[in-house]
Copies of this chain bind each other. A is one copy, B any other.
């Protein structure tokens, strides 16, 4: 096939790569495998991405963008309990459609290259930090949320809780971990856990 790559094929490379990278990590996936599985030649991948590393980062950014889009759409009001529930659900929705996006996010946390880890931590987390801290701050101002803990710390704890829930919905280790703690179902199909999560968060945030 010497036709120009269609947009579909281009997407195919990305999705294939995300799927493989997400499953096994950068180091254990070869460019040849990505090429074969997405039905293109090795060479053409290097036309679009200067190196395997660059392809990997493109996959990362694609995934993070998708993740962020979903999250963004789910933050509306000051009712932090409800907000938490919606944010939880938003991540779950992505994981149901594209668990690999979540796995890509998780990949960053275990990179071999520490500088890259820091770069992406800064990039990704500062957005969430700002977003959540702001919500909490306003909720504190209106008296809905406890004021004896700094907004940024509350945001941090909140995001920690959410992050773990989301990893549990897409990353094998955490999926298994969830099962070990809470029993048989996938976290995605367990309605009890969501309610419990919202209650837990509300308890943690309300004034003592």
Which A residues form the contact surface with B (CB < 8 A)? 23-25, 27-28, 106-114, 117-118, 120-122, 125-126, 129, 133, 146, 148-150, 152-157, 159-161, 163-165, 167, 171-174, 176-178, 180-183, 192-193, 196-197, 199-206, 208
B180 touches A125 (CB 8 A): yes
Residues of B with C-beta under 8 A to A196: 149-150, 153-154, 157
- Taken together as a complex, chains A and B put the C-alpha atoms of A173 and B113 apart, in Å, by 10
Residues of B with C-beta under 8 A to A120: 173
Residues of B with C-beta under 8 A to A153: 181-182, 192-193, 196, 200
Oligomeric state, in number of copies? Answer: 4
List 29 A–B pairs whose Cβ atoms lie within 8 Å, in order of A's numbering: A24-B112, A24-B113, A25-B110, A25-B112, A109-B110, A109-B167, A114-B172, A118-B173, A121-B174, A121-B176, A125-B176, A125-B180, A148-B199, A149-B196, A149-B200, A150-B182, A150-B192, A152-B182, A153-B181, A153-B193, A154-B196, A155-B181, A156-B178, A156-B181, A159-B181, A160-B164, A164-B164, A203-B205, A203-B208
